Amino acid sequence: MGRFFITEGNPHLNLMEEKNNPKEDYVVTPWEASGNIDYEDLIERFGTSHIDKELLDRIEDITGELHFMLAREIFYSHRDFNWILDEYEKGNHFAMYTGRGPSGHTHVGHLMPWIFAKWLQDKFDVELYFQLTDDEKFLFNFDMDQETTHAYALENALDVIALGFDPEKTHILIDTDYISTLYPIALKVAKRLNFSNVKAVFGFDNSTNVGSIFYTTIQSAPCFLPTELKGHDVPVVIPCGIDQDPHFRLTRDVASKIGYLKPALLHNKLAPSLDGTGKMSASMPKTTIFTTDTPEDVKSKLSNAFTGGCISAKEQREKGGNPDICAIQNYRYYIFEENDEIINDIYRRCRDGDILCGECKSQLIEKVNTFLKKHKKGREKAKDLLSDFLLTD
């Protein structure tokens, strides 16, 4: 059985097929994810730890159930999450921090770690700090102006709120609107990071603009924000895509030197694109579903998605499809189907030639459109709630 079949008894995915991919064949940085990403190799390369059976059991003991993104190893890697649980068990509530670079509308891949963060908030009763890095997107995208990235930040904030976060415990900050608070913290980080450090981690060179060189300090600042705001040490965990780990590796190196706790991390794999290659990306709108897409957009994009189907219906009925390479199955697996039995049922029927791509796509189109209909209602309501969530100086 392949990667999108969920085995009973052992919920961990067999990642071996990703091992066949030569290590040079992919790139993962905070600003680029391309090629066939080898997530096992990333753990070695970044020096993170697997979320192993023992840690999953420990989480399940506290939460009473495992979120499907943990069970399916979508959240698969961590740094110091055991320490976060140690502190939690001592009665020291941690805070969460995640965020988004507002270079466009939110797509469903972005929602993945946010949905997971919502689950963590509900289960652990903790505060979430959500950063919208409009400065980053301005600095790293030559053609983007600040008005645009700020406008997208506000749009993206609606998507966060629409997921149902507790307004009492959820704080959204837009960098340029909250810079008075962030900047003094960023300066402390900046004083302890030199060009060699950021060059080694991000691959910068002499042609990198000085804003980009400085930027990681702004992404570091919210790691220490709960401690600053509460006036005492607050452990922080960051659920985020593994592509963001380089930022926080630097943050962790600096933390103790400037009198703060190191942030812990929970890393997710990146949601794949609909064409079956690389990461879902706002820069490839045809293979990415945005929360602002119309039902017709969704239908058109999913209908054109890459699948593991055969050339003809006849052939597929005889030989079966290949769900392991199918973008539709990917979407279900990563975001749109919590129920393992349904995933496995479709997987088997595809393999056996009992379900054709058209029917399979229609099922997902309906599921996605149902989700987005509700989400859009949430977005509308969020417009009135924005000020309850936004942190301002």
Binding residues for a second copy (CB under 8 A): 135, 138-139, 142, 146, 176-177, 179-180, 183-184, 186-188, 190-199, 204-214, 216-217, 393
CB-wise, 202 or 389, nearer to a second copy?
202
CB of 25 to a second copy, least distance (A): 30
CB of 184 to a second copy, least distance (A): 6
How far is Cα 340 from Cα 11, in angstroms, rounded to an integer? 10
Sequence-distant (6+) residues with CB within 8 A of 274 are: 280, 286, 287, 288, 289, 301, 302, 304, 305, 306, 327, 331
- Token pair recorded at residue 155: 């749009």
CB-wise, 92 or 194, nearer to a second copy?
194
CB-wise, 185 or 327, nearer to a second copy?
185
CB-wise, 88 or 183, nearer to a second copy?
183
CB-wise, 21 or 176, nearer to a second copy?
176
Q: Please give the C-alpha separations between residue 268 and each of 79, 115, 372, in angstroms, as whole numbers.
A: 12, 12, 22
Task: Tell me if 311 sits within 8 A of 347, measured CB to CB.
Answer: no
CB-wise, 138 or 347, nearer to a second copy?
138
CB-wise, 93 or 192, nearer to a second copy?
192
Task: Tell me if 390 sits within 8 A of 173, measured CB to CB.
Answer: yes
CB of 219 to a second copy, least distance (A): 12
End-to-end Cα distance, the chain: 53
CB of 248 to a second copy, least distance (A): 16
CB-wise, 83 or 214, nearer to a second copy?
214
CB-wise, 20 or 180, nearer to a second copy?
180
Task: Tell me if 247 sits within 8 A of 219, measured CB to CB.
Answer: yes
CB of 175 to a second copy, least distance (A): 8
How far is Cα 198 from Cα 220, in angstroms, rounded to an integer? 13
The DSSP code for 332 is I
Task: Tell me if 301 sits within 8 A of 286, measured CB to CB.
Answer: yes
CB of 10 to a second copy, least distance (A): 44
Tokens 């930040």 correspond to what residue?
153
How far is Cα 48 from Cα 266, in angstroms, rounded to an integer? 10
How far is Cα 323 from Cα 329, in angstroms, rounded to an integer? 6
CB-wise, 244 or 363, nearer to a second copy?
244
How far is Cα 130 from Cα 282, in angstroms, rounded to an integer? 19
Measuring CA to CA, which residue among 181, 157, 161 is closest to residue 169?
A: 161
CB of 191 to a second copy, least distance (A): 5
CB of 21 to a second copy, least distance (A): 33
CB of 176 to a second copy, least distance (A): 6
Tokens 């270079």 correspond to what residue?
103
Q: Name beta bridge partners: 383.
A: none
CB of 282 to a second copy, least distance (A): 20
How far is Cα 149 from Cα 134, in angstroms, rounded to an integer? 5
Sequence-distant (6+) residues with CB within 8 A of 380 are: none
Give the chain's radius of gyration (CA, Å).
21
Please name the residue ranges forming H helices in 271-312. 295-303
- Token pair recorded at residue 235: 């452990």
